[in-house]
Structure 1
């Protein structure tokens, strides 16, 4: 994921005005067996752009040598115009769209990362976060390793380089057995496209097919973009190796009950994607339907906070019969570079991206529906904007439960002290957001929307720790940081 610069540094208070939203993770894409593989990879990355907008890169192999190209910024700004395959020839390629939660926006952190190992060239891209990356990195540095980036992805490269014996895939598996956390890797050797998913399936990775060629991607929408057929998900703990002989599957870990990330349904995945066999759009509508049952409101109009609040707001409106209107118009053409860390710009930041549709608001009791509430800062500014447009009442509903715990698996989630629901009662939050009423979807309602029953006594079916505090893996680096008060993890190892 592309490193964030000073303006978007999560340690500051002058975030991008969308900072109250959960920040995207990353997206990965890989293809084997088609000429012009880089061009199709660029198209797949376009479909995954919502997962990371700060940097992008492609690595390809043409049968003789590797080619890599990495840029800061959007896919469309860097891989359009001339055919990317003219610069990046080859029949296999991997791509990455990136967002990080720490570090600086510097090219050396942009993925895919490429290294010359003793086995040959190797390129790798990563979605997720290794929760013991700093601990391993420290051990490697003490043993003489030299790091070129601040990405936890580079830790895996060093582990692969030091692995002993067997085929390359054996070395790769040996390396991922030493790391923990949530991850989806795509990688290239001179013969093979490799995909790997963490043992709990926290981060997504899928297999598709285009003719006789195979594709790996973070979401099904990337297959739709290139005209490929979705085959199946990479299983939790599975490593797949794709070459001229087809696909080989390896089990890197003993099988255990999977726990995919619930935020793919809440926020990350594109509405037209299929996750775990479920339509993301339908699940989000069901969240709104259940939200209407659990937290009704006597209002005149339902307005989504664009864009992620739209499906839930539609579900709320359909359940209640209250009119749905686009009362907030989003400006999709405001770039991050326009946002400057001055008080004047901070105060008007929301208006740069959102404008009130006064004709749908004035004189009405308004219900705002959003996917979640993190800090509450942007939500408050949106509420003020709706009031300024003439609303007589403003009510707010979150289509997910209160976020009370930070993330450690690749989501830019603030520490607990900055999560509004972790520190204030419902009544206090209602006052802080300056709304007439406030409501959240219950954890039971969230699982219901996904067609599941929430099991309180058993291990949860999903990685839902941001709501429940039930972290699915050991948090080795976090625990070390808490024990010694070190800030090294936050600033030296960035999320990929």
Structure 2
């Protein structure tokens, strides 16, 4: 993607099902689980760069020994910093000479349960207090809770107030702390109910503790905790006595996958990273169902339990287009299909002149959709060949026939990304000064009579197109540059994990506003503002997305043409066209992941409509604030 978009967090949970000495004998190290966790986190590092953390939980430790370890970091390279600190006590002599039993008792992070997290700071400041896993500590094991999540909630204000009504005094106003305290509150409540029950049965305090640990009803705790959560989430937790869980929102907005065999249970935000970390080509990886929680009891029993009634599935399509790793077989296939389905629009954009068109892509994530685009163009040209041959079968010379049969799309690697420079661009202000040097081009393959088609996976702000990509492509001297997005026009803010919360961040919105002004329809801007303001204070369930009305007067093509005009610098020589994927074809390519609120404004939860209206109000009133 040429525009920067910050994404929701990633997590990984590992539960070893065998004694630690088993892994030492079979795999040569009692740190087998920790080493696998490192790979899982590194393979998801594109998801969060501001912080990382790891919790290790030791099972069946004697009183007086530490059983839960945690390290977190806000370092510039947080994963490496976390694991450097974790590995510090493990000298070569200890790793060589000490067995698993000694190591578990004497060294941190020699554990059976691991929970790792990568964070991008979409809420709160980027400091260590907000880095997951978060932890509630207690002298009673079952009251200890570590939590890590890939989520955003739209109704943090409501949840915060509910904690206050329950008598709590939350230490921070943030979605993360609120979520932790909600789960912790109902966990405490469940344990207190069990304590009273067993006490009435005549059990002693010492007898009650193990009974509570065996019978605590985690599905009930999670169901009561999350019943009023509005948003997308995959929440992983570890309880001090040994139970672990991962629960998913009832709309399936945020992803979570798991694998289980007789040695390990592993859960992560992406399926392919599990295959990579555990080197399994044919692993049966399952998706945690929306509204369910995967529960791993201390005794190793694994079940999937309903905690919230599933709603209409709205798993995030943008996850498939861009953020997920492209080596997942389903995502790879879907991205190719996205490129292929653009064929009719591309042929129209170059006026059917495929012989004088060069096809390329913006590295790196658009490469897969590029292969699909090429496949679509090839199929189109094959049909053209068949038609020409049928029409002229009696008159073609051998030379002309060879020329027709040999026609192929002209494919070149035009844009080159300089990865070294990218690492220095850490903020939007710094990015603007250096962005022109992040990309370079291949010279000498484009002619003045050529169209140059380049595909990107999405176009959000259009900033990089205007300030960098189009300028360097224009140096090649094409007559026309066609920029293609494998995603539809991004028109609305996200509130479920991706950091896109302000209306002025979307070039599609800015284009629609410009069209309204050009056509003397500015009154609609004020009318929508009044409608949004009138809904402030209403329950989120009653709020309607009135921002859709901004786009209603225009066709998709009219907005695309205005975007092309806006990203074209006056000093460019080439004509510029911008082509977007259609929402209909998006659903053809990604039939199981239909969450399309970025493109359509159809938010799956009531809080989404509240967020988009707030974002619009903030834009009109000139407030550069997050909308939830």
For the aligned pair, the TM-score class normalised by the smaller chain equals: 0.7 to 0.9
Match status 1:29 vs 2:12: yes
Aligned residues: 462
Deviations 1:56-111 (A, max 9, x none): 11111122411111112445532556874955221111111121334332111111
Match status 1:430 vs 2:564: yes
* Partner Cα separation in structure 2 for residue 423 and residue 127 of structure 1: 30
Deviations 1:405-434 (A, max 9, x none): 111111111422331112322221111122
After TM superposition, list the pairs within 5 Å mapping 1:203-352 onto structure 2: 203-209=254-260, 211-227=262-278, 229-243=283-297, 244-274=299-329, 279-296=330-347, 297=350, 298=353, 299-321=356-378, 322-334=409-421, 338-339=425-426, 345-352=430-437
Instruction: Identify the structure with the greater helix proportion.
Output: 2
Match status 1:407 vs 2:494: yes
Using the TM superposition, name which of 373-382 and 357-366 deviates more: 357-366
* Partner Cα separation in structure 2 for residue 481 and residue 320 of structure 1: 42
Gaps of 5+ in 2: 21-30, 62-66, 91-107, 195-215, 379-408, 512-558, 569-574
The TM-score, its normalising length taken from structure 1, stands at 0.84
* Partner Cα separation in structure 1 for residue 276 and residue 226 of structure 2: 30
Secondary structure, aligned partner of 2:56: strand
8 A contact 1:237–1:251 mirrored in 2: yes
8 A contact 2:495–2:501 mirrored in 1: no
Q: 1:487–1:110: structure 2 CA closer, same or farther, 3 Å change rule? A: farther
Q: What's 2:154 paired with?
A: 131
* Partner Cα separation in structure 1 for residue 503 and residue 217 of structure 2: 41
Deviations 1:34-75 (A, max 9, x none): 643332111111111122222211111122411111112445
Using the TM superposition, give the Cα deviation of residue 145 of structure 1 relative to its aligned residue in structure 2, in angstroms: 3.6
* Partner Cα separation in structure 2 for residue 407 and residue 151 of structure 1: 18
8 A contact 2:271–2:285 mirrored in 1: no
Gaps of 5+ in 1: 1-17, 453-460
Using the TM superposition, give the Cα deviation of residue 29 of structure 1 relative to its aligned residue in structure 2, in angstroms: 0.6
Secondary structure, aligned partner of 1:271: coil
Q: What's 1:58 paired with?
A: 54
* Partner Cα separation in structure 2 for residue 398 and residue 404 of structure 1: 14
Using the TM superposition, name which of 222-231 and 353-362 deviates more: 353-362
Secondary structure, aligned partner of 1:316: helix
> 1:115 aligned to 136, 147, 172, which one?
136
> 2:183 aligned to 160, 174, 194, which one?
160
* Partner Cα separation in structure 2 for residue 102 and residue 335 of structure 1: 25
Deviations 1:371-395 (A, max 9, x none): 1111111122211121134444311
The TM-score, its normalising length taken from structure 2, stands at 0.67
8 A contact 2:320–2:331 mirrored in 1: yes
Q: What's 1:373 paired with?
A: 459
> 1:469 aligned to 598, 601, 611, which one?
601
8 A contact 1:21–1:372 mirrored in 2: no
Deviations 1:141-188 (A, max 9, x none): 576644455541221221123222252512233111231210001111
* Partner Cα separation in structure 2 for residue 24 and residue 352 of structure 1: 24
8 A contact 1:125–1:185 mirrored in 2: yes
Q: 1:492–1:443: structure 2 CA closer, same or farther, 3 Å change rule? A: closer
* Partner Cα separation in structure 1 for residue 182 and residue 245 of structure 2: 16
**CA RMSD in angstroms, aligned pairs only:** 3.0
8 A contact 1:30–1:94 mirrored in 2: yes
Larger-gyration structure (1/2): 2
Q: 1:391–1:406: structure 2 CA closer, same or farther, 3 Å change rule? A: same
Instruction: Identify the structure with the greater strand proportion.
Output: 1
> 1:478 aligned to 605, 611, 619, which one?
611
